[in-house]
Amino acid sequence: MNENEAMQLELLRKQMAILQENLDQFFMIINGMFIFFMQCGFAFLEAGSVRSSNTVNILMKNTLDVFVGSLSFFAFGYPFAYGRPGNSFIGHNNFFGANVQYFEKSVIANNQTLGGYETSSSYFANFFFQYVFAATAATVVSGAVAERADFSCYIIYSFTITGFIYPVGAHWVWSPDGWLNTGAGTGLSMQDYAGSCVVHVCGGMAALAGAKILGPRLGRFSDDGLDKPIPGHSVPLVSLGAFILLVGFLCFNGGSIQRISKNGDGLEVSLSVTNTILSGSAAGLSSMLTHRVHSMVKGKGKYWSLLMTTNGGLTGMVASCAGCNDIAPWAALLTGSVAGVVFVFARQFVLWLKIDDPLDAISVHLFGGTVGTLAAPILAIRGQTINGVSVGGPIYGGGVDAWRGVGWSLVGLFSIGLWSGLCCFTLFTTLDMVGLMRIPKSVEESGIDMQKHGEHAYPETFVRIIDDRPETP
């Protein structure tokens, strides 16, 4: 090989490395965009599900999830989750972006594009991708506490979940240092590809704590405990949110590989996407049918409920997160079908507990996430890697090791559920004691929008309603 050819080879190697790194970041960023857009999806799912007199309030909370969340996650969340070095419980570096290198004068000669600056860091691509995940976990809560949580309460919990509670759980499972990841000496590693447990069980437990401590909305249950549903004001807005979430979830799961340059990445991405849509579809249909049969049996009529179908579908997608990259399509269909049925009964169970969850966020995320967390290791094809060898799930010949893996997922499920639940219970109880938890009764009765935000969601209708009131004699 002559000198010219050697140089060409060297240049090619460098270009290849650059292309791989850039491509991976491009992949993360673009998937991150769709996941970021899920904030819009949650916002409208929630906006349609509340009364029109509380619609500005819920949109405000979702807007602040984006704004407060980005600051909180940049300052604290990412450092706690992924800052290295870290211990097995928590990361601790890069607070407020400290010690992050963006452009540094470098001695590398051939750096053509940035004029002598070293640019190997992938910090920001990782940050953005992880931020959109964290924001999702926080957003789950706003649905469960809708129409009655105080604004200060909201700001504080949103900041805390994004900046501390969620990141710690994420660290356990997704950081190379986390104890559920390293196995804490067991040699096992928890399987939670896209966060059935890390994101949805965490968010769902926070939602449960919030809804429980807040208590139901005024009039949600009659004095003798009867269920008196308070319908939201716009099904089209709910459906709009759901459609946005469907596409968001495909990228949520499809993007979780966070890489597209290595052998098999394309397959893993597209398998994840396929499994996610199949699981969601199966769940939507099984929820629809279960609800119809359940209503008939209960003597409540024979209905094809859009809201049940929609939320069921979302539950199936939540359940597909943990294992979508590592199960066969039939297993995705199975996971989804189960999740859809679970959703309908979880919803009844939450109602039976007299917990008021305007968005069914607990049923979708906590129960859907639980199904997914347990289904993943059972149905896994490749499963966990023990001593460098893939050990598939029980039905793929994984044997005892496979069941130990299922057990480890159970440990993870309880740990994260407990962590999130205890933290949020403490937080919400404290807020409740200092009177920052719930809006005053008068505000709840007349609607939060005009009282707290000075804005009505539909000013023209509002004016007409005011005008329509019978004159005081």
Which residues ranging from 257 to 276 are in contact with its own copies (CB under 8 A)?
A: 260-271, 273-274
> 166-174 and 202-214 are packed helices; what angle lies between their axes, rounded to 10 degrees?
160
Structure tokens at 210: 């919030």
Residue 29 touches its own copies, criterion: CB under 8 A: yes
Please give the residues from 241 up to 260 whose contact with its own copies meets the rule CB under 8 A: 242-244, 246-247, 250-251, 254, 260
| Nearer of residues 85 and 302 to its own copies, judged by Cβ | 302
| Nearer of residues 209 and 378 to its own copies, judged by Cβ | 378
| Nearer of residues 224 and 467 to its own copies, judged by Cβ | 467
Q: Which long-range contacts (CB under 8 A, 24 or more apart) does 444-452 make?
A: 444/147, 444/148, 444/217, 444/218, 445/218, 446/53, 447/51, 447/53, 447/54, 448/53, 448/54, 448/56, 448/57, 448/147, 449/53, 449/54, 449/55, 449/56, 449/57, 450/53, 452/57, 452/151
Residue 436 touches its own copies, criterion: CB under 8 A: no
Residue 410 touches its own copies, criterion: CB under 8 A: no
C-alpha 39, offset from chain centre: 10
Residue 70 touches its own copies, criterion: CB under 8 A: yes
* Alpha-helical regions (H) of 356-398: 361, 368-379
One character per residue 204-233, x = contact with its own copies (rule: CB under 8 A): ---------------------------xxx
| Nearer of residues 267 and 353 to its own copies, judged by Cβ | 267
Please give the residues from 284 up to 323 whose contact with its own copies meets the rule CB under 8 A: 284-285, 295, 301, 303-307, 309-310, 313
Stretch that binds its own copies, among 105-113, 168-176, 367-375, 422-430 (CB under 8 A): 105-113
Residue 99 touches its own copies, criterion: CB under 8 A: no
Amino acid (one-letter) located at 164: F
Q: Using CB under 8 A, which of 81, 237, 317, 342 touches its own copies?
A: 237
**Phi/psi at 375 (5° precision):** -70, -35
Q: In the chain, helix, strand, coil percent, each to 5?
A: 70, 5, 30
Distance, in Å, from the CA atom of 295 to the CA atom of 307, rounded to the nearest integer, reads 14
Q: Which of 367, 322, 318, 375 is nearest to 343 (CA)?
A: 367
Beta bridge partners of 221: 227
CB of 9 to its own copies, least distance (A): 6
Stretch that binds its own copies, among 118-126, 175-183, 190-198, 199-207 (CB under 8 A): 118-126
Distance, in Å, from the CA atom of 20 to the CA atom of 14, rounded to the nearest integer, reads 10
Beta bridge partners of 391: 384
DSSP code of residue 147: T
| Nearer of residues 424 and 448 to its own copies, judged by Cβ | 448
| Residues 6+ away with beta carbon under 8 Å from 470 | none
Distance, in Å, from the CA atom of 441 to the CA atom of 448, rounded to the nearest integer, reads 10
Residue 34 touches its own copies, criterion: CB under 8 A: yes
CB of 51 to its own copies, least distance (A): 7
| Nearer of residues 302 and 433 to its own copies, judged by Cβ | 302
Residue 236 touches its own copies, criterion: CB under 8 A: yes
**Residue count, binding to its own copies (CB under 8 A):** 139
Stretch that binds its own copies, among 22-30, 163-171, 417-425, 429-437 (CB under 8 A): 22-30
Report angle CA 347, 348, 350 to the nearest 5 degrees: 65
Distance, in Å, from the CA atom of 182 to the CA atom of 284, rounded to the nearest integer, reads 36
Residue 64 touches its own copies, criterion: CB under 8 A: yes
CB of 432 to its own copies, least distance (A): 21
Q: Using CB under 8 A, which of 88, 93, 97, 401 touches its own copies?
A: 97
One character per residue 316-355, x = contact with its own copies (rule: CB under 8 A): ------------xxx--x----------------------
CB of 414 to its own copies, least distance (A): 28
CB of 336 to its own copies, least distance (A): 10
Going 217 to 230 to 364 to 177, the CA torsion angle's sign is negative
Residue 389 touches its own copies, criterion: CB under 8 A: yes
Stretch that binds its own copies, among 69-77, 157-165, 218-226, 404-412 (CB under 8 A): 69-77
